[in-house]
A and B are shown apart, each in its own frame.
Chain A
């Protein structure tokens, strides 16, 4: 312990004096509780420790670089700390534990292994934080913002890229994650053992999985845009062992599986748009309180797949629905059958994925839908919706392409003729 203390002291000594004239740690140590420390622009190397209620405020060009394994700023046992407007770098950004009242604002955290780590926090407010991780495989990296055993957390307006999990939440009661963007990471936001969570208006793009929700009860996922999750094991949102989840008004586009439900209960999937996903919704071991209602399915290769149990589909719009609406009440006259033998095989044995949308499977699936329509018990929508106001795609003419096409037609016809003459 003594040794570590010595090393720490030594590090602190060289850190604050080596690069900039201003000694932040000394200023912190001298400051009265509640004080505001303004850090002038400059490159500071070191590992700061904050144990009292203060505000650290940087300006444009203020950068603190962590040395070694320790974080740039360590916050411990304080109850009103604010870190504002600065750049952090090094292996770890901020580590906070036992804090009641912490605000992180306008931070840029670059090339870190793990950026923000909070344990036993309450009333934590993180906003406008930009995190960029390193360019390694995600298994070799840490998380962007990680929050453990905490309460009352808000993470908003942050941009996170190239980390393991963008926002990792474990054993937290009450968290709002809103207006963030997470890209090119393993999981966009990862909830574990969390209660009363909200994910609103976030954008998740090109991660392995956008929203990973596990062992969580009570979560609202609303107005998010979840796109391009088409890695080997990717999903837009994956819910495992989740109770009472509400997914509404999200746009899920171009994902391998848009929403995957496993071992979950009371999940409501409503008013979402599913576009161009390989599979829109997959459900295994889902209870009968789970409903998929009033969603729009457009251009998905497979709309739904499940185990024998299935889940309830009701009043959704399907672009591949072929029934008519003679009663003109906006609802199709015959049920929509989403189940396909191939979809169910794929759930059982991942190797079948190889055949996805292959010629043989396409034929099989269309046969599937013709035969035994009434005999199906799972994944049947009795009241499929028909769209009344189809938005017309904007048409822009491409004259060059048109002429090229015309040229191709004419020249091949001419060649054909010539071939006949000679």
Chain B
């Protein structure tokens, strides 16, 4: 029964025109930017414009697609009454959420796999394009975290349109607005306050968290500057790795738990 549900969800997900379009779009944009950047520039280890654009393409596109599609899928279930129908089957809410989560993750893994495949194949033909391991793992983390967030948004929104707008708001908030707000605050407060705020934002903004993870795991934390020496030194230690893992797990677990609570509340009403 349970595996049936996952299969069903996955089928729905893969069948949707939206998803197929997103798959094509992501593959196209990702590949063109990566290949153009890497072809044009000399190969250098470390943080350069090409790794920066690599990272930014990932952080810009993937959360956008996952948030919109994931949230609309669960909101759609509620909107169309599919969720109410499912509840008549012998299946718990947790199983439903988990099934949804897994289906979305698998669907995006497929998309990313296509995109990476194209990059690798083209790179193999043209030469000089590589796909560092850290980017692959970061992509997986990104999918895990943002799918969870997408479900939470969908559970709040309840209609597809609201889910779409809410995820767009949240996306721009995570990617742009929070940083701009921080930079604006920085012009009036002292450096050490800005530094502390930045550290807080780093933990409460999954985009920043993934970006920070990139610098930590590639041992390029010096890019972030001397002001963050203590934080980066901590996260570069074994204990720091454990804490990083824990915080990441929280980012997956908390939105899922929130979704469950939200859906439960909805039922009671």
Contact = CB atoms under 8 A, between A and B. Distances in A.
30 contacts: A230-B47, A231-B222, A233-B226, A254-B48, A275-B41, A276-B46, A276-B48, A299-B44, A300-B49, A349-B186, A350-B191, A351-B227, A354-B198, A356-B223, A359-B176, A360-B175, A360-B180, A393-B39, A394-B127, A397-B127, A399-B124, A402-B120, A405-B119, A406-B117, A409-B117, A409-B118, A412-B111, A412-B117, A415-B110, A419-B10
The A interface, classified by DSSP as helix, strand, loop or mixed, is helix
Interface string B224-258: 11111100000000000000000000000000000
A159 B107 CA distance: 55
Interface of B: 7, 10-11, 14-15, 39-42, 44-50, 52-53, 55-56, 59-60, 106-107, 110-111, 113-114, 116-128, 175-176, 179-180, 183, 186-187, 191, 194-195, 198, 207-208, 211, 220, 222-229
Contact of A349 (B194, B224, B226): B194
Interface in A288-321: 298-301, 319
A413 interface: yes
B112 to A, nearest CB: 9
A398 interface: yes
A345 B121 contact: no
Interface in A387-420: 393-413, 415-416, 419-420
A419 B12 CA distance: 9
A87 B268 CA distance: 85
A256 B119 CA distance: 28
Nearest to B180: A360
Interface residues of A, number: 61
A27 interface: no
Nearest to A231: B222
A408 B123 CA distance: 13
Contact of B124 (A298, A363, A405, A413): A405
Given A413-B114, A419-B10, A228 B228 contact: no
Contacts of A411: 113
A350 B229 CA distance: 12
B41 A354 contact: no
Interface of A: 228, 230-234, 253-254, 256, 275-276, 278, 298-301, 319, 342, 345, 349-364, 393-413, 415-416, 419-420, 422
A409 B110 CA distance: 9
A402 B180 CA distance: 41
A228 B47 CA distance: 11
The B interface, classified by DSSP as helix, strand, loop or mixed, is helix
Contacts of B49: 276, 299-301, 357
A84 B127 CA distance: 49
A234 B46 CA distance: 14
A299 B41 contact: yes
B227 A420 contact: no
Nearest to A415: B110
Contacts of B48: 254, 276, 278, 299, 301
Contacts of A254: 44-46, 48
Given A275-B42, A276-B42, A278-B47, A230 B120 contact: no
A353 B224 contact: yes
A329 B10 CA distance: 58
Contacts of A299: 40-42, 44, 48-50
Contacts of A345: 183, 186-187
A233 B227 CA distance: 10
A302 B103 CA distance: 41
Contacts of A253: 42, 44
A360 B114 contact: no
B44 A276 contact: yes
A301 B10 CA distance: 40
Kindly name the residue among A233, A275, A393, A400 whose own CB sees the greatest number of chain B CB atoms within 10 A: A393
Kindly name the residue among B48, B207, B220, B227 whose own CB sees the greatest number of chain A CB atoms within 10 A: B48
Nearest to A402: B124
B179 A256 contact: no
A313 B116 CA distance: 40
Contacts of B180: 360, 364
A355 B44 CA distance: 21
A300 B114 CA distance: 30
A376 to B, nearest CB: 20
Given A355-B183, A401-B124, 20 more contacts: A230-B46, A232-B226, A278-B48, A300-B49, A345-B186, A351-B194, A358-B56, A358-B208, A360-B176, A360-B183, A393-B128, A396-B128, A401-B123, A404-B120, A405-B118, A405-B123, A408-B116, A412-B111, A416-B110, A419-B11
Contact of A353 (B44, B113, B119, B225): B225
